[in-house]
């Protein structure tokens, strides 16, 4: 197993186990590169009190605190993690909602890589919490990809996170026809390519009852066809039991899409490892 560049630890409000435990498991699995990328929802960078809000399971607050705790744990674990290469990262949600604070994370000297993700549209909760019976789904999906495009156009990320997250919780994701959105998706992919950033093959859907990969093979092939070179693999593990889950399959998928290399970022500099 080459890499898992998207993982969460107990510093994220929805994940478990320490960085040290993850490192131990990564070495057991024979992972060569692992990035810890705890949640920084940049639109709620400060604790709930700052926003006069109550902490809740629906909204993660205090991205700044999560980031600091995560960085400290990773730095401590980096001292003794061999043979694993442990990278310090963050999954920054909603970059277009606060590019200035996103830049603070991106430019932090401790950071190797940032995953830029859209979990929410402005003023809306995470896609997980939407009531899809009440949504105009094509309009929602368009708004999602427009927000992903704004993220891709920013300078505050290295890897565009789970490209098709906005489809994840649709009542029938597999049946949803992406054709009307392909032009916009091409624009996102070409932006990523032009900026020499990466997309990820996110395998978290491999542990769901209705299997999926974010994005699917068709879109990864399209990325390659358009000239995409930088691809990462991740399980988005929130628990150690999923650290290596499906990585072999994701590596096969990358090969099928035409990739012979994967990409790692160290201090935002991409380097490739053969697949």
Write out the residues near Zn ion by the rule CB under 5 A: 91, 117, 236
What string of H, E and C letters represents the secondary structure of 46-83?
CCHHHHCCCCCCCCCCCHHHHHHHHHHHHHHHHCCCCC
Considering the complex, state which of residue 207 and residue 229 has its C-beta at the smaller distance from Zn ion.
Answer: 207
Residue carrying structure tokens 């995409």: 228
Nearer to Zn ion, 41 or 251 (CB): 41
Give yes or no for a contact between 227 and 233, defined as CB atoms under 8 angstroms apart: no
- Cβ atoms 160, 116 nearer than 8 A: yes
Q: How far is the CB of 198 from Zn ion (least distance, A)?
A: 15
Minimum distance of Zn ion from residue 28's CB (angstroms): 22
- Least Å from the CB of residue 37 to Zn ion: 6
- Give the pair of three-digit tokens for residue 254: 């990358």
Least spacing, CB of residue 86 vs Zn ion, in Å: 17
Of residues 160 and 193, the one with the C-beta less far from Zn ion: 160
To which residue do tokens 């650290």 refer? 243
Position of tokens 């993220």? 151
Residue 8 Cβ, how far from Zn ion at the closest point, in Å? 6
Q: Which of 123, 134, 117 is nearest to 168 (CA)?
A: 117
Nearest-10 Cα torsion for 203, 207, 212, 214: -30
Tokens representing residue 2 in the block: 């080459």
By C-beta, is 147 or 236 nearer to Zn ion? 236
The nearer residue to Zn ion, 91 or 147, going by C-beta atoms, is: 91
């Amino acid at each position: 197993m080459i890499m898992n560049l998207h993982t969460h630890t107990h510093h994220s409000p929805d994940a478990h186990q320490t960085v040290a435990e993850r490192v131990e498991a990564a070495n057991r699995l024979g992972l060569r590169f692992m990035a810890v990328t705890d949640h920084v929802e940049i639109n709620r960078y400060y604790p709930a009190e700052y926003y006069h809000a109550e902490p809740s399971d629906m909204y993660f607050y205090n991205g700044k605190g999560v980031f600091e705790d995560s960085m400290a744990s990773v730095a401590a674990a980096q001292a003794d993690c061999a043979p694993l290469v442990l990278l310090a990262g963050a999954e920054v949600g909603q970059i277009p909602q606060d590019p200035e604070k996103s830049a603070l994370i991106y430019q932090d000297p401790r950071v190797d890589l940032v995953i830029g993700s859209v979990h929410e549209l402005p003023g809306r909760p995470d896609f997980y919490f939407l009531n899809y019976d009440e949504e105009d789904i094509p309009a929602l999906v368009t708004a999602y990809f427009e927000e992903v495009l704004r993220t891709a156009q920013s300078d505050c990320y290295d890897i565009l996170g789970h490209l098709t997250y906005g489809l994840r919780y649709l009542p029938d994701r597999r049946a949803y026809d992406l054709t009307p959105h392909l032009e916009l998706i091409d624009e996102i992919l070409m932006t990523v390519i032009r900026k020499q950033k990466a997309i990820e093959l996110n395998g978290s859907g491999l542990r769901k009852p209705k299997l999926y990969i974010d994005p699917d093979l068709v879109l990864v092939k399209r990325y390659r066809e358009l000239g995409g070179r930088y691809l990462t693999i991740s399980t988005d593990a929130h628990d150690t039991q999923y650290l290596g889950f499906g990585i072999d399959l994701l590596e096969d998928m990358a090969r099928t899409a035409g990739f012979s290399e994967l990409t790692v970022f160290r201090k935002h500099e991409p380097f490739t490892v053969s697949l």
